[in-house]
Amino acid sequence: MTLDNQMTTKALLRERISSHTIRIKDFWTIYKGSRIGMIGLSLILAFIIIAFIAPWLAPYHPRALVGTPFLPPTEKHLLGTDQVGRDIYSGLIWGTRISLMVGLLASAFAVAIGTTIGLLSGYYRGPLDSVLMRITDLFITLPALPFILILAALIGRNIWNIIFVIAIIGWTGTARMVRSQTLSIKERPYVEAARSIGARDRQIVIRHILPNVFPLVFANAIIGTVDSILAESGLSFLGLGDPTQPSWGMILHYANEAGALATGRWWFIIPPGICIMLVTIGFAFSSYSLDQILNPRLRKRRW
């Protein structure tokens, strides 16, 4: 390669890095202009703060028997007590930490699996692509709810098992999206420039392809968190959650066992339902705004 070609190649790479820097700086300016996005972010931050200060915000330990069963809301017990005398308000506050942890970790693991498979499949193609995509197709064809229920029942009612079960079924969409993006990006001039100056495959994937697919992956992870929180709540409600952890789904499970709906004990049902609704709205609104910013077909301005 001549000196002029080397200088041109390096200039292309520097221009690409500068473009990423501009995007990062402009992102917040664009995002805060979205009213829906700011509402979603505010809800998410509020629940994250509650999760962090749960030990100080909750008056009792969530599993402590602190009163007579089925007490209505009072000054001492803001949301009453459950069928064994546990403070529902304390369980609700601690449940924020558990539900968010499950949602974020399960989504993160699913996205990590999907991104890895999508990058390998899209970049190397050939037999590896065929094998990985057939595995992806297999998981897509599996009925999600029965598969999750069977796995959860087989491996046990443990919070980490629940995270694993949710993650193992939720990576397929990310894998297909990353693969399609990788197929396009690896043919672009700056990738060819990096390859021409001797960059290895791993360097190209990590430094040039991954940063370009990451924004879409991040937006997909946000909405995946919603699915994970709802999945954990559903599993717990059906009795497959971790009974040692006070998640919102477990509170609803205990309320169902105690017949709270039939006896009109609204304080046992409505608060965890509202929490699940608000946190899912927060993540959904944020994902919607991110999609508008990152999707060229939806955004109204270039950045």
Task: Give a yes or no: residue 6 inside a domain.
Answer: no
Task: Give a yes or no: residue 19 inside a domain.
Answer: no
Q: Give the Å distances, CA to CA, from 33 to 22, 41, 208, 244, 285.
A: 17, 12, 29, 42, 13
Residue 108 has what pLDDT?
92
Task: Give a yes or no: residue 290 inside a domain.
Answer: yes
167, exposed or middle or buried, with CB in 10 Å at 0-12, 13-18, 19+?
buried
Sign of the torsion angle spanned by Cα atoms 25, 26, 32, 37: negative
What token pair was written down for 17? 């890095």
Looking at the chain, the whole-number percentage of residues with pLDDT higher than 70 is 87
Task: Give a yes or no: residue 205 inside a domain.
Answer: yes
Amino acid at 18: S
Residue 67 has what pLDDT?
80
Contact indicator for 167, 109 with CB cutoff of 8 Å = yes
Mean pLDDT of the chain: 82
Task: Give a yes or no: residue 271 inside a domain.
Answer: yes
Residue 299 has what pLDDT?
52
Q: What is the DSSP letter of 86?
A: B
Task: Give a yes or no: residue 88 inside a domain.
Answer: yes
User: pLDDT tens digit string along 188-247?
Assistant: 877 777 777 777 878 888 888 888 888 888 888 888 898 899 988 888 888 888 888 888
Task: Give a yes or no: residue 243 inside a domain.
Answer: yes
65: β partners: 86
What token pair was written down for 124? 């190397």
User: pLDDT tens digit string along 96-123?
Assistant: 998 899 999 999 999 999 999 999 988 8
60 vs 173: CA distance, rounded Å: 41
Q: Which residue, among 123, 119, 117, 108, has the nearest Cα to 140 in the 3D structure? A: 117
143 vs 169: CA distance, rounded Å: 10
Residue 193 has what pLDDT?
77
User: pLDDT tens digit string along 245-270?
Assistant: 888 989 999 988 888 888 888 888 89
CB atoms near residue 29 (< 10 Å) = 9
What is the domain count for the chain?
1
Q: Provide the domain limits for residue 204.
A: 46-294
71 vs 82: CA distance, rounded Å: 7
76-103 burial code (b ≥16 CB/10 A, e <16)? ebebbbbeeebbbbbbbbbbbbbbbbbb
CATH label of the domain that carries residue 215: 1.10.3720.10
Task: Give a yes or no: residue 200 inside a domain.
Answer: yes
